[in-house]
Amino acid sequence: MIFKNNIRKKFFIYFLLILLFITVSISLMIGSYTVSFVDTLSIVINKLFSLTLSNYSDTYEVIVWDIRAPRILMAVFTGIALSIAGVIYQSIFRNPIVEPYILGVSSGAAFGASLGIVYPFFSVGVKLFAFIFAMLSLIISYSLAYRRDKTPIISLVLSGIIIGSIFTALVSILKYVSDDTQLREIVFWMMGGMYYSSWNDVLVNGIAVMTIFLLMWILSWKLNILSMGDETAKSLGIHPELYKAIFITSATFITAMIVSTVGIIAWVGLMIPHMARMLVGADNRYLLPTASLLGAVYIVICDTLARMVIESEIPIGIITSIIGAPFLLWLLRSRSGKVY
């Protein structure tokens, strides 16, 4: 009886793995130029294993390997990162409508990036600035909420809101003093998109995201216990403060990494964990891989839509918000209090 149920959960994980492979393959083929399946396959195999299957034009190689492949892989890692961050925040805060930006991380990142755009002479670059300020906002939120060996959730959420609004105000100041080109750049960055992704971004983010994913998966049973509350966790032999710090820092780290590379992509961290819970339930041992794969598939599809719906590209953040916000409404109204 028990094992039959777990087989069903494993089936979903394998199914999503195949679905991700199919989605990525199709996304590589389609766009403003459609590249045939055979050509796409030949390019990928040639690049990965230096084997020539068939001849294809160099233009196709540039499109598939230099333009599409890095942004699609970046979409995969973005989906994984934002989804596991969502799962972790929701479990730790014991709140099913918490999303990864609660600690003011995104506002911190947005301020850092805007600073880098408006004052390029700092020369450390937009991404690094975004990352530094995302981590800074986490540290400030966390230390504001920390009292006598404890970090009460409500204090943490409140300090996150405070830090978030301070950084949002600072972004507004930067927008006010920036020139037209900079303003356009800030606005586009904040709407999110994969268009600037390079192979270097894929490598750096991929290593970070997959390392954190593995660590979180190994610790997933402890995440289950933490979602029962601090006292229960302690009575089951788990140090709540230590593991909360590990989980929150890891989730914020990958969120900051991703936000600093692709901008703000909202709602994914809220929507995907819920959908994954509908498939495999609340047990994080199954939920983490399911949400990761589902998130990856979702972002790849959204990014493909972003570059195909209209002639010029629309920011992916707009698409995830258009889909995500009504999803929350549906979730709250149709399930009448029954939360996944």
* Contact stretch for another protein (CB under 8 A) within 33-41, 89-97, 179-187, 203-211: 89-97
Count how many residues are written for the chain. Answer: 340
CB of residue 223 vs another protein: minimum separation in angstroms?
A: 11
Site residue total, another protein (CB under 8 A): 32
Is residue 96 within the footprint of another protein (CB under 8 A)?
Answer: yes
Selected binder of another protein within 34, 94, 184, 203 (CB under 8 A): 94
Selected binder of another protein within 50, 55, 147, 237 (CB under 8 A): 237
Residue 279 CA to residue 129 CA, distance in Å, equals 38
CA 220 to mean position of chain CA atoms = 18
Which has the closest alpha carbon to 297: 9, 1, 14, 19?
19
* Contact stretch for another protein (CB under 8 A) within 60-68, 168-176, 228-236, 297-305: 228-236
CB of residue 7 vs another protein: minimum separation in angstroms?
A: 14
- Which tokens hold the place of 111? 């301020």
Asked if 298 contacts 230 with a C-beta cutoff of 8 angstroms, the reply is: no
Angle at 194 between CA 311 and CA 162, to 5 degrees: 120
CA 81 to mean position of chain CA atoms = 4
CB of residue 215 vs another protein: minimum separation in angstroms?
A: 11
Residue found by looking up tokens 């996150």 in the block: 160
Residue found by looking up tokens 């089936």 in the block: 11
Is residue 338 within the footprint of another protein (CB under 8 A)?
Answer: yes
Is residue 285 within the footprint of another protein (CB under 8 A)?
Answer: yes
CB of residue 12 vs another protein: minimum separation in angstroms?
A: 16
Selected binder of another protein within 12, 46, 239, 308 (CB under 8 A): 239
φ, ψ of residue 57 in degrees (nearest 5)? -80, 150
259 to 278: interface string for another protein, x by CB under 8 A: ------------------x-
Selected binder of another protein within 235, 309, 326, 330 (CB under 8 A): 235
CB of residue 91 vs another protein: minimum separation in angstroms?
A: 8
Is residue 206 within the footprint of another protein (CB under 8 A)?
Answer: no
* Contact stretch for another protein (CB under 8 A) within 109-117, 160-168, 203-211, 217-225: 217-225
Which has the closest alpha carbon to 259: 49, 86, 107?
107
Work out the burial of residue 116: count CB atoms within 10 Å of its CB; fewer than 13 is exposed, 13-18 middle, 19 or more buried: buried
Torsion of CA 276, 281, 283, 289, to 10 degrees: -30
Selected binder of another protein within 75, 113, 117, 238 (CB under 8 A): 238
CB of residue 339 vs another protein: minimum separation in angstroms?
A: 7
Is residue 330 within the footprint of another protein (CB under 8 A)?
Answer: no
Residue 72 CA to residue 111 CA, distance in Å, equals 26
Which has the closest alpha carbon to 189: 127, 255, 102?
127
Selected binder of another protein within 44, 158, 282, 325 (CB under 8 A): 282
162 to 201: interface string for another protein, x by CB under 8 A: ----------------------------------------
CB of residue 296 vs another protein: minimum separation in angstroms?
A: 22
DSSP notation for 94-134: T-TT--GGGGSHHHHHHHHHHHHHH-GGG-S-HHHHHHHHH
Asked if 205 contacts 74 with a C-beta cutoff of 8 angstroms, the reply is: yes
Is residue 8 within the footprint of another protein (CB under 8 A)?
Answer: no
List of residues contacting another protein (CB under 8 A): 1-2, 5, 90-91, 94-96, 218, 220-221, 224-225, 227-229, 231-232, 234-239, 277, 281-283, 285, 338-340
